[in-house]
Structure 1
Amino acid sequence: MGNSASSATQETASNVTQAVNQNTTPQTGMPPNHRQFLTQNPQNGEVAYPSECPMHAQQAAKANEAQAAAPAQAYPSECPMSAENGQMLVNTPNDINPLNMMPPPNQRPAPDQPFLLPTERQKSSIPKAGAENDFWQYPSQQMFWNAMLRKGWRWKESDLAAKDMDDIIKIHNANNEQAWQEVLKWEALHAYECGDPKLKSFGGKAKDFSPRARIRQLLGYELPFDRHDWIVDRCGKEVRYVIDYYDGGEVAKDYKFALLDVRPAMDSWDNVWDRMKVAWWRWRYDRQEASPVFANDQQNTGPSTNS
């Protein structure tokens, strides 16, 4: 009887095992009524599980981790798809060039621009520091237009014509050339130590009025319409200059109209000493020219002529 019971038990276990093996798949171990939801990749034989399957969730989690670890797509700074730039003419602080405090050159026409503008750039007479025989370049008319748009200006309010932009660029360039000539007059005080000063960087501070401009305002004078700070490379030594631009009235034929107040910033003893010397010279010789003795001497001698 024991043998009969043992034989019956083995037979039952064998039947159950056979039934289980017949009703499952070797790849998944799942019943056949679930196999209809599976798909198999013919190239690598991998099985794709339904979205409700826990194994599918594990695969999705691994895929998300791999995607997060992948490097993000980098777009150009002027591309509208950039996450930091919401529109074509907006640049982020990371795009600003520290040498001139300007974003990368944008030579593309604005979306609502009424006319095309030239993109040619004029080379200045201002030498660039850190390079041999290299000079700063002025912005093109298109670059100047885009720069004004970035600052909030809208052309419909001014109703500019193409000729007006050409005049604006020429006035801008003439003012900078004049400013550099004034800087060279100050640098002549140090010609013995550096005979080749160069402009390293510059930036505009239109609303950051200098103490001198505020004192002049208290005395009844108008405030400057613009201010620049220039960093001059004096053969390895950095010297900061402050330039105030005042309205000079009508534009001259050479496109000069601004009155410039150029002087070294009082942020070093050398600059303070330079300004003290020049102030003394101006007071001394202006006083001498205004004196009656100097006027009489000049009247008696008269201008010298060569026969």
Structure 2
Amino acid sequence: MQAVTLAEFGPPDVLRLTDVPDPRPGPGQVRVRIRAAGAQPVDTSVRRGEAPPAMRGSLPIVPGNEFAGVVDLVGDGVAEVAVGDEVLGWTMLGAYAEAVAVPADQIVRKPADMPWEVAGAMSASGQTAHRALRELRVAAGETVLVHAAAGGVGTAAVQIAVAWGAAVVGTASEANHAYLRSLGATPVTYGPGLVDRVRAVAPQGVDAALDAAGRGALDASVDLVADRDRIATIADFAGAERLGLRGLRGGPGARSRERLGELLDLWSRGALTVHIGHRLPLADAAEAHRVIEAGHGRGKVVLLP
């Protein structure tokens, strides 16, 4: 099969489309022929050699941590999944490929009416946002601030919080303000003066803040949220350590079938959409990384084998 491999750390051009052996599912695993795979900011960290410990591997590496496709092989001991099932799921590495072998408990059945590109981009950002909002204890009637609200995680976080009955203030560039309004958020422009702009649109105060941006967002959040235990980042871990705030990294419990099932339920009810900002062939993984690293993007980047 073909896969995007990383033989050395560096800029996007180190990503190469190469021929690699087809994976074989072990006991408790299935093999999925991939129809779509999401590209994430964490994948760019893998490429640069800066990935969190759970996502490090020996070179060469096949990046990619979310996918959707069709099961074509089932390992021993798997009874709940059959060849031909359409599924979506997650992995730590390996999704920038035509096929991936994963534990059967890391996939769920794809709704029949869900487009492949949406299914391929649902798991990572959606589960990251869901977990963060749960850990921040966001509840109905509260106000939550989401930094980088137009990105993949931000888009999911806005919609999940709104579905839970919270009011959302989202930071984004002016070009994405109408988009955030369509999701149910009140948009504000990031940058100098952010604290005053948030206070102007949320005079009732801010109960929790999720930083998916970095760039000083945590300092602004500290000025706006009284309880520091209700401020978290997925983008600025040095800032979180400096300020004594939550830094949310991936790891055991960060993703689960149950969490993904909740997201699919929201999607089925029309409460959660996945905006696909860029659709690229697998061979253009380097361009996908350039798009992600440029920032200011809207929604998700999807690779199509």
Normalised by the size of structure 1, how large is the TM-score?
A: 0.23
Greater relative contact order (Cα 8 A, min sep 6): structure 1 or 2? 2
Greater per-residue helix proportion: 1
Larger Rg: 1
Greater per-residue strand proportion: 2
Normalised by the size of structure 2, how large is the TM-score?
A: 0.23
